[in-house]
Structure 1
Amino acid sequence: MLRPYPSGPAPRLCQICGLVNRQQALALQQSKQSSKRSFVTLHASRRLARADGSVPTAPRAARLFATSQPCLKAAKRPQPPPAPKNQNAPQSSSQDGEHGTPRPRPSSKPQSPAADLAELVAAVDRVTKAFLAQQGIPSEHTTLTALRACAKPDLRLILDAQKPSQIPASASRLLDLDRRSKSPATDSLGQTDPSPLRPEDVMKRISNAAYAIVSHPAVSITPQVLDEYVQLQARLGRPETFPYVLELYATKPNPRLVAGSIEYVKANPNKIQNAIEQAVAETALNTAIEAKHLDAAVGVVENAYATKAFLRSKIVKKALLPISVAGAVPVAAYILATNLALLQDSLEPALATNMAFVGILAYFGFTGTIGIVALTTANDQMKRVTWAPGTPLVHRWLYEEQRAALDKVACGFGFSQASRYGEEEGEEFMLLREFILRKSMILDAVELMPGMN
């Protein structure tokens, strides 16, 4: 891009020559003054004379000398004082940047995690109070809505608020003491300031609110309500109330509205309808194992897998069809034997029918017995808890889910290495071993351990 010529008169050639002579004289004078120093060569780059005829000044790069000795740093130029501001010009605000560009102002102050946790607790308290203040028997839909409202808070917010507080216990105590010493302990009315909410407190409040809703006397615990409650507590990681709620599911009196008042009918815990669904029981057991809560895990096993309602439900679901087929086999065998007797002439029809009937029954009887023995004595799925010798096959089949649950508990609370099975110590694990032994089971049978068979 071509620059425009200056508007003033052009400099004459004599003026330029005079300026060049002055520059050379100044350079000779500086060389005489530095005659005692070592030989110095000036830098080649020098600023030419300006067109206005003023004395040129050497740029900063021209004052750096190339010599055999280390060069000295160039002195910093004093910056000129700032130009006075025009009074008529609008003054910039204190939030403007260095170049006069206005800085973006924050729209709103971000809310602290403690305030968010307080809002969550307040919302859960409002839902709980509104539900418990109802008159009459709440419907299943109302109970599910209340539980889902308690489960609505985002747990990621609580966990994110918990991450910055992961510091050693000693350091946290020192920080608490420092905060207490700096902040007043009481307010003007003499009341103690409430401590800020912690994520553990928020989870506990939500868990207590859900338990208060389910344990309310007028609430009827249905399978959907129980499933929703277990899922909520599993998200919170608090399995302490699982044994009580599972027991309430089977033994809680059923509320009924009679003549404007609520009456409670005693429930039969051994009914098939009061059996815990296997998927719900597995979720509760896995939550207790992940939380390392041994009492809750054993309570889930006792109130879910070891109840009569669960055993009756298993018989109806898994054994009713095979038993019906086994009962129909003799009838089908006699009809088949009668038809086979008519196809021969060497024996009497009655004798041939009896012989064919006995043969068919013997075939199905021996084959079915071998299948039942193979099914009930299989132990490939067993890791640590096995059946004691002499346990009846029917008992093994009925309580197989309970054995599998106790096996999962033993693996969850014991050593993870198979080579260290049986080396656990402590009062809790000894009680677990004795509890398993009372169920006709053995924990870590020596003859079934690797390398011992």
Structure 2
Amino acid sequence: MRRANPRQVGFICHSCASLPAQASRQPFTSRILSSSPRQIAQSSVWRSTPARWATSVSASRADAEADAEANEKAVPASTPRPLTDASQLANVAEDSCNKFLSVDGIPAKQLTAAALQSCLRAASALHPQLKRAEAQFKASASKLVSLGAERTGARVPIDAKLVDATSRISHAAYTIISNPNVEMTPEFLELYVAIQSQLGQPESLPAVFELYATKPKPVVKNGQIAYLKQNPNAASRAIEPAVADMALQAAIDAKNLDSALGIIEASYSLPAFKRQKLIKHGTAPAIGLATLPFGIFGLSTAYASYWQNTMDISTATGIGVAGISGYFLVIGSLGMIAKLSHKDQMKRVTWTPGTPLRYRWLREEERAALDKVACAWGFKEPWRHGEEMGPEWEGLKEYMGYRQMLLDRVEFMEGMS
């Protein structure tokens, strides 16, 4: 078999490579292409492939650029980063307070709520920094020093910048809520308590609770602002239990015993709170008790008329009234005594013997709050209850004694029964 000349093979390959540009000057290549139709088709395929490849590449690049432009248009504008600097947060709260105070007349409730919410956002943004500073102090200080600070309620030494920002935000919120032209509502009070709880500043909460009960209501009369005196003992002036519990927890977290006791006195101990509880939880039982005689008489009459035939109707009705009334009286009395005298929820604070049951029911929230304070300031181990000492603990015992309560009653302590 005859072998091809290497020079001819190389010549043919080079001729194919330069065919599009030099077809008129290559007679040998033209003769080969004209003699083989199959090679003509193959050559046309080779000739059109670079064009198709270039077209597809350019199309893909155009599609990629279009997708990139669409994505850039679809991506929204970057949101501003939240403020984290303590001074800037305090400036935002003070600016909101100043804008609120610049309003003449009685401000709208929406404006007051917006000003308090601005302070709340600043306090919420500052809260993690306060917790971080407290955690760093506990990690760096000795265990005995940190325990002593927790027991005595001493302030944790943190950055002066954070302390200043906390005071400014707290003062701005107090300025807004204590404005004479602002009507104290439960919503505003809840916002204020949330602000001070985030900042760890419960010192002003007892005063604000008293202000909520006694602050005059601003009204417009004859084109001027008049102030209507409020009844502090009205049920509408009572602090909501959830708000009072939030304030008490803030005082406990701050280890401020005076604020905790002041919050209890300004919320749970007031007559307004007891009246509100009596209205909320005593109205339905009172209505049921008032309608009970009519139900008893109806049942007795039905029994005498349809369910017996041995006595006359009047005698059977009297016997039925006596029997049903005696049943409800005995069972209801036992159930009420069991309900009002149970002690399962009591931990360290109990009632003194002889305290009337109605007082126990009306003042149960007050006792539970003092129980919470005692558990927070005393030892956490149950077997160490009763070993606490110090002027604060002795004062707490005496304070509870004035309110018909006992702290760590011996017969109710663990292992003493």
Q: Deviations over 1:172-193 (max 9, x none)?
A: xxxxxxxxxxxxxxxxxxxxxx
Letter in 1 for 2:383: S
Task: Give the structure-2-normalised TM-score.
Answer: 0.72
- Corresponding residue of 1:303: 266
1:215-294 aligned at under 5 Å gives the runs 215-294=178-257
Q: Which is bigger in relative contact order (C-alpha 8 A, separation at least 6)?
A: 2
Q: Find the structure with the greater CA-based Rg.
A: 1
Asked if 1:413 is matched to 2:413, the reply is no
1:323-362 aligned at under 5 Å gives the runs 323-342=286-305, 343-362=307-326
CA distance in 1, matches of 2:389, 2:160: 37
- In the TM superposition, residue 362 of structure 1 has moved relative to its aligned partner by 0.5
- Corresponding residue of 2:111: 142
- Corresponding residue of 1:424: 388
CA distance in 2, matches of 1:124, 1:362: 65
Letter in 2 for 1:378: H
- Report the 3-state secondary structure (helix = DSSP H, G, I; strand = E; otherwise coil) of the residue aligned with 2:279: helix
- In the TM superposition, residue 197 of structure 1 has moved relative to its aligned partner by 5.1
Letter in 2 for 1:116: D
CA distance in 2, matches of 1:279, 1:249: 15
- Corresponding residue of 2:364: 400
Q: Deviations over 1:356-398 (max 9, x none)?
A: 0010000011111010011011001100000110111111111
Q: Deviations over 1:44-99 (max 9, x none)?
A: xxxxxxxxxxxxxxxxxxxxxxxxxxxxxxxxxxxxxxxxxxxxxxxxxxxxxxxx
CA distance in 2, matches of 1:266, 1:287: 30
- In the TM superposition, residue 138 of structure 1 has moved relative to its aligned partner by 1.2
- In the TM superposition, residue 161 of structure 1 has moved relative to its aligned partner by 7.9
- In the TM superposition, residue 270 of structure 1 has moved relative to its aligned partner by 1.1
Q: Deviations over 1:135-186 (max 9, x none)?
A: 11112111110011112222267448847984979xxxxxxxxxxxxxxxxx
Structure (1/2) with the larger helix percentage = 2
- Corresponding residue of 2:343: 379
CA distance in 2, matches of 1:221, 1:231: 15
Letter in 1 for 2:112: T
The change in CA–CA distance for 1:118 and 1:165 in structure 2 (over 3 A counts) is farther
Asked if 1:121 is matched to 2:110, the reply is no
- In the TM superposition, residue 294 of structure 1 has moved relative to its aligned partner by 0.5
1:75-154 aligned at under 5 Å gives the runs 116-153=85-122, 154=125
CA distance in 2, matches of 1:163, 1:273: 39
The change in CA–CA distance for 1:141 and 1:440 in structure 2 (over 3 A counts) is same
- In the TM superposition, residue 119 of structure 1 has moved relative to its aligned partner by 2.0
| Corresponding pairs, count | 316
Contact 2:130 2:162 in 1 (8 A): yes
CA distance in 1, matches of 2:217, 2:182: 8
The change in CA–CA distance for 1:157 and 1:382 in structure 2 (over 3 A counts) is closer
CA distance in 1, matches of 2:201, 2:229: 29
Contact 1:118 1:197 in 2 (8 A): no
Q: Which blocks of at least 5 consecutive residues in structure 1 are unaligned?
A: 1-112, 170-195
- Report the 3-state secondary structure (helix = DSSP H, G, I; strand = E; otherwise coil) of the residue aligned with 2:416: coil
- Identity, in percent, stands at 43
Letter in 2 for 1:284: A
The counterpart of 2:165, out of the listed 202, 215, 240, is 202
RMSD: 2.3
Task: Give the structure-1-normalised TM-score.
Answer: 0.66
Letter in 2 for 1:447: E
Write out the 4+ residue segments of structure 1 that deviate beyond 6 Å after TM superposition.
Answer: none
Contact 2:90 2:166 in 1 (8 A): no
- Corresponding residue of 1:321: 284
- Report the 3-state secondary structure (helix = DSSP H, G, I; strand = E; otherwise coil) of the residue aligned with 1:263: strand
